[in-house]
Structure 1
Amino acid sequence: MKRNHFKIYASAFLLVLGLSSCTDLEIEETDSFISSGFQGLQDPASSLNALYGSIYGQLGDQANTYALREVTTDAALIPTRGADWGDNGRWRKLHQHEWGLEETDILTPFNQWNSNQLLASQILDSRSSASADVAAGASFLRAMAMWTILDLYGQVPFRDTSLPSTEVPTVLTGQAAVDFILADLDNAISGLPTVAAGAGDDLNRGSKAAARFLKARFLLNKHIYVNQLNGGGGTPDSSDMAEVISLVDAIAADGFALQAGYFELFRNTADNETIWWAQTGIGNRIFNGLHYNSTGIGGGGWNGFSTLAEYYDLFEGDANSNRVELDETALDGQEERRGGVPPSGLTFTGRDGTEDEGGFENGSNVGNGFLINQQYALDGTPLQDRQGAPLQFSRGFVDGTGAPNLINNNEQTGIRVMKYNPRFGGFTEHSIQFRYADAHLMKAEAMMRSGGDPTAMVNELRAIRGAAPLGTVTESDLLDERGRELYAEGVRRTDMIRFGQYLRQWEFKSAAESTNTARLLFPIPLPQLLANPNLVQNPGY
C-alpha cells in the first residue's frame, strides 16, 4: 500500500488554506482529515446511536444525497418560479447534467458519507471494544456509507483507524471496494438480529433483512462498480444474480411480503412491506412540491419540486386528468400508484394520526401520488395561487412568453408528487428506505438477467396495485415498473445507470450531455483531492 506521510499531507492542507480567500474550498473532518490520537471510543453503543441519527437526517434531506439520486434523473426537477428556487441554478444544473466542481449538493454528500464511514470504523476498531450487536450495526452502516460513496463518486477513501492519523487514507475502487463492502454486509447479516415483518418501531435499525436487502441492491450493480472508473460496462455475474434471488427469498422468510393499499405503506403504521425506515421527518417530501396555499399545515407548501410529464405518463390513466372521489376511487382510469386529486377534504372522524380543522380532516384536500390540474380547499372551494389565478398544476414548464423554460415559471407549472400525505402529520418521523416491493422487483430482475422470464412476478405486483397485467416484460418494461413503484424513494439514478438509461435525453437536458459519460459519476470535491493525493479526479472533470 502506498503511504504518504505528514509532509505531503501538511503541504496539501496549507495549499487549501491559501486558496480559501478566493473560493469555497474547505476541509472538514472526514476520512481525508481527522484529529490525531484516536485510541478507541469510550461508549461505542452511544456512538452507534449518534451515527444512526446523522444518517437519518441525511436521508430525510431534500438536497444533497436525495438531490443527486432523484433530481439528476427524469423523475424530478425544480424550476425557478420568479425569485423562488433560483439558488444560483443549483437545481437546474443537476437536472440538466451541467453541474460543475463546486456544487454544494456534490461537496456535502462526499463529506457526510465519509464522516459516517469513519465513525463506523472507529466503532469497529478493536480498541473501542464494541459488543457484537453494536459491531454488526456499525458494519451495516459502514457498508451503506461506502456503497453510497462508491455509487456516487466511484472512489472510497478509507482510513485504517489503527494507523497514525498522519497517514493519508488509502482509496478503494473497483473490485477492492466491492470486496470490502461485501465483507461488511456479510458481517452485518451474520450479527444483526432477525426482525419480523410488521415489527413497527423495531424496523428503524439494522436487521438481517435490511442487510440482505442492501446486499441484493449492491449485487445488482456490482458489475458496474467493478468497471466504473474504466468506462463502465460489463455484465452481471450469474452467481451474483442467484445470490440476489436467495437474499430476497430469505427476506420473505422473515414474513415480508407485498401488501395492498399503496399509499397506506407511507404512513407511520405497521405493515408487511417495510423492511427499514429512517427516524427522520417527512416534511421535505410533503412540502417541497405543494403550493403555498395547498394546506395550512406547516404554514403551507414551498412550491418547488415537480416531475416531468414523460415520467407521469409511465402510469395508466388519462394523460390530462388525475381525479379521485373522496374515498380515492379513481375517476380517470388511473392505476392506484398514480393517486389523484380529491374534490374537497374529508369529514373529520378521528382517524389515527389526523387532526380536526373546522370539521374536516386537516390536509385531506391534498391528493396522493401525482397532482395535476385544479386543486381544492377543504370545503371544496377551488384554490387560487398568490396572484388570484386558479391553482391548476400543469404538465409543462413555461416562462412568461409560453416558451418551454426552467426559469421565469409561474406558481402552477409542473405536476407535483405526493407520496406522503400531510393529513397524517406533516412532520412525522417515519421515512421508508427499504421496501419488500423493491426486493420483489430486484428478484424479478435477477431472474431476467439469468435468462428467466420476470413477467409473472411483475404482474403479481401490478395486480396488487390495480394495474393491468403486461403480456411480456422486457428490460425497458422492468425499469418502467421500478419507476412506477419506487418514485421519490431515492433509487432512480442507480436504476437508470444499471439499465443504461441515465445518459439518455429528457426534457431540458441537452443532446451534448446525453453522450457525456463523465456524468455517470460526480466529481471528487477539490478540497479532498488536495488533502488526499491518493484520490484522482474522475474522468471528464
Structure 2
Amino acid sequence: MKKEHFKSSLLLVLSMLLVVSCTDLEIEESDSSIADSETEFTGIEEPGPFIENLYSGDLKGIVENQQDLYALNEVTTDELLVPTRGTDWGDNGIWRKLHEHTWDDQHPYVLNNWNNLNQLVFRASQIVDDRTTNATAAEKAEAQFIRAYAMFWVMDMYGVAPFRTPGDGPEVNPMVMTRPEAYEFILNDLNSALPNLPARGPSDENLRPTQAAANFLLAKLYLNKHIYLGSGMPAAADMTRVVELVDEITADGYALQSGYFDIFKPDVDTETIFFTISSVGNRMWNGLHYNQNSSDNTGGGWNGWSTLAEFYDLFEGDPNTNIPGSGQEERRGYVPTDGSNLGIGFGFLIGQQYDENGNPLTDRPGNPLAFEKQFPGLAGNNERTGIRTIKYHPENGAFAGHQIIFRYADAHLMKAEAIFRGGTGSGDPLTMVNDLRTIRNASNLGALTEQDLIDERGRELYKEFWRRNDLIRFGKFADAWDLKINTDDFRALFPIPATALLSNPNLSQNPGY
C-alpha cells in the first residue's frame, strides 16, 4: 500500500493563485496539497499503474500546459509573446511580465512550475525508493528517467533542487542540492537507468523512455555542463561526450526526416525520440484568431500568442508575406490562399488570412484579418497585431494527443554545436548544418558562426521548449529585443517562489530577487 507524507515545500501551494500585489504569504494547511496518513511510507504495491500515471498523468499535464514550463521557457524569449488585446489576455499582467523580464518571486507560473516539477520528482522517487521492493529493474529505470527529466528542469530554471526521500516525515525540511550536486544526481539517475531501458528506434511506443531518450537528456547535460557548473568555457571532453551520445541515438535508427510539418502529425517518424499523449490544442489555438476554426473546434482560436518580427525575419523568404511562392524555406511554412488545409496555414501566419473556401477572413469588427508584424506595445493591441505561429495543425486533430518532447534534429544540431565547440567526432559542423538546411529547403551557409548556430536552432526548434535554454548557453538571454524592458543577467535563473522560502528554511533566494 502507498502511504506517504508530503512537505508543503515540494507539493506546495497548488491552490494559491498569487498576483504581484499579494503580500500575505503565510502558509496555511488549506493552501497546500498535503497527502498524509497515519503510517509511514512503506512502498508502492503496484508499481505498473503508478508509473503509467507518471507519464499519462503528471508528465502529460506538465507538457500540454501553455503556462508554467512552456511559458517560462518560450514567452521569456524573443520567440513568443502574449500581447494584451483589449481585456483579452490581460490576466493582471502575468504574460506581459514574462516577455518584459519583470517577473518576481510571486509570479504564479514561477510557483506552479516549481510545484509541478518537484512533485513529479517526489512521485518518481517513490518507485526508486528501496521500500518499493516489487518494482522491476525496468520500472525503476523508467522512474529514474522521469525523475531526471523533472529535476533537470528544476536545476536548469531555478539553480537548485530540493529533495526529500519518501520516508521523511512532514517535520523534515527537504534538503537542497546545489546546481553541481543536482547535475551529478541527474547524471547518476540516467546512467543507472540506461541499461534497463529498451533499445528502440522510431516507434509509436516512444511515449515511454528508451535508451535513446536517456542519451538525449545526457547530451543536454553535457552540452550545458559549463553553464550548470559555472566553469566558463565548455570542456572538449564534454563536447566529445555529446558527440558520442548523439551517435548512439543515430545507431538506434533515428534520422532527419524531410517534410517538416509532417513530423508534427501523430504518426511514427524517424525524428521523434520521446513524446507524450499531451493535447496539442494549446499549441495551435492560443494564437489563431477567433474566426479561424475547424470542424472539430467550431469555437475558433483564442487570439493571443504571437511572435516578434525579428524572429520571423530569421527565416528565408519575403519579409512581408508568407503566401506560397514567397521564396520561403520550408520551416517558415505558408499561408494558403486557396482554402486548403482548412484555410489555416503552417508555420508563420502573416498578412491576410483565408477560410476553407479561399475567402478572405475578417476580424470581429469587420476589418480584413491581416496579421501585422508590429505591435503598439504589449498592451493596447487590436485583434490583428502580431504574426502567429503554428506547427501542430488542426487538420490532424484539433486537440490530438501527441506532443514531441525530444526530437532527432535537436540531437543533430547538438552534435554540430559540440564539434564546433571543440568536441571530437565524425562530421563537419558546417556540413551538418547545411545537411539539415537542404532537407528544409533552405540555402546553404558559406561559413558557420555561433550566431548561425543559435539562429539555426531557433529556425528548427521554435515552440519546442528549448529557446530559453539555448539563449542562455549562447550568452544571449540578457540581450535586448522588441518590447523587453530588462536585460538583467540574473534572470537566467528564476526566483525561488516566496511561499517555498517560507516553508523550507534550507532554501535561499537566488541573487537579484
Query: TM-score, normalised on structure 1?
Result: 0.87
Secondary structure of 2:463's counterpart equals: coil
Q: Match for 2:363 among 374, 381, 385?
A: 385
Amino acid at match of 1:156: A
Corresponding residue of 1:311: 311
Secondary structure of 2:319's counterpart equals: coil
Corresponding residue of 1:172: 177
Corresponding residue of 1:416: 388
Name the count of aligned residue pairs: 488
- Structure 2 gap ranges (5+): 1-8, 17-21
Corresponding residue of 1:344: 338
Distance 1:493 1:504 in 2: 12
Corresponding residue of 1:356: none
Corresponding residue of 2:268: 270
Secondary structure of 1:137's counterpart equals: helix
Extract structure 1 runs of 4+ deviating beyond 6 A. 27-34
Distance 1:523 1:149 in 2: 11
User: After the TM superposition, which residues 389-400 of structure 1 pair with which residues of structure 2 at under 5 Å, given as runs?
Assistant: 389-398=367-376
Q: Match for 2:210 among 194, 197, 207?
A: 207
Corresponding residue of 2:326: 332
Corresponding residue of 1:96: 100
Distance 1:28 1:146 in 2: 26
Corresponding residue of 2:258: 260
Corresponding residue of 1:464: 439
Deviations 1:104-159 (A, max 9, x none): 11000100000000011111111112111110000000000111100110010011
CA-atom RMSD, angstroms?
A: 2.2
| Shift, 1:509, TM fit | 1.1
User: After the TM superposition, which residues 78-157 of structure 1 pair with which residues of structure 2 at under 5 Å, given as runs?
Assistant: 78-129=82-133, 130-157=135-162
Q: Which moved more, 1:172-181 or 1:85-94?
A: 172-181
Query: TM-score, normalised on structure 2?
Result: 0.92
Corresponding residue of 1:50: 53
Deviations 1:39-87 (A, max 9, x none): 2112222211111121111101111110000000000001100110000
Corresponding residue of 2:24: 23
- Structure 1 gap ranges (5+): 1-8, 228-232, 325-330, 347-362, 399-404
Distance 1:378 1:428 in 2: 20
Amino acid at match of 2:382: N
Change (3 A) 1:118 1:29: farther
Deviations 1:493-529 (A, max 9, x none): 000000000000000112xx21x12211111011111
Secondary structure of 2:395's counterpart equals: helix
Corresponding residue of 1:251: 249
Over the matched positions of the two proteins, sequence identity in percent amounts to 51
Corresponding residue of 1:195: 200
Corresponding residue of 1:234: 232
Corresponding residue of 2:300: 300
| Shift, 1:28, TM fit | 8.3
Corresponding residue of 2:512: 540
Matched, 1:184 2:189: yes
Matched, 1:497 2:476: no
Deviations 1:434-491 (A, max 9, x none): 1100000000011011167510110010011010000111111000000000000010
Structure 1 contact 221–498 (Cα < 8 Å) conserved: yes
Distance 2:82 2:253 in 1: 39
Q: Match for 1:432 among 404, 408, 421?
A: 404
Corresponding residue of 2:6: none
Secondary structure of 1:433's counterpart equals: strand
Change (3 A) 1:39 1:216: same
Structure 2 contact 129–166 (Cα < 8 Å) conserved: yes
Distance 1:57 1:46 in 2: 17
Structure 2 contact 293–301 (Cα < 8 Å) conserved: yes
Change (3 A) 1:258 1:25: farther
Matched, 1:368 2:346: yes
